[in-house]
Amino acid sequence: MLCPNCDVEMTIRTGVRVTGDKDPDTATRVYLVQRFFCRNPACPAFGREQASVLHEMQTETDTPGTEEPAQSAHETDKLAAT
Ligand SMILES: [Zn+2]
């Protein structure tokens, strides 16, 4: 992605954002966050975040209580064997 101020390709920093993990009534969601920073020292926006993109990731914990631990262990065994 290009900086909107100087049209130089920006640096990307990637992180993870989790929402709802503190509230049992809210579904936990995990996002991959890409933040774009200008890297042109001559640009007034140098070093500042110019854009961010959020990608929601699939989680296995959306429906707590329905997962059977025995089944998960079995799948792990199957993966290890291949
Ligand atoms: Zn810039």
Q: Where are the domains of the chain?
A: 11-81
CA 53 – ligand 1 centroid, Å:
18
Q: For every one of its 82 residues, what pLDDT tens digit does the chain have, with 9 covering 90 and above? A: 999 999 999 999 999 999 998 988 988 899 999 999 999 999 999 999 999 999 999 866 556 565 555 554 555 555 555 5
Flag whether the pTM goes above 0.85: no
Amino acid identity of residue 45, one-letter, is A
Our CA angle for 16, 18, 19, nearest 5°, is: 150
Q: Which of 9, 52, 62, 2 is nearest to 32 (CA)?
A: 52
* 3-state SS class at 73: helix
In this structure, the number of other CB atoms found within 10 A of the CB of residue 22 comes to 8
Phi and psi torsions of 24, nearest 5°: -65, -20
CA 17 – ligand 1 centroid, Å:
25
CA 4 – ligand 1 centroid, Å:
6
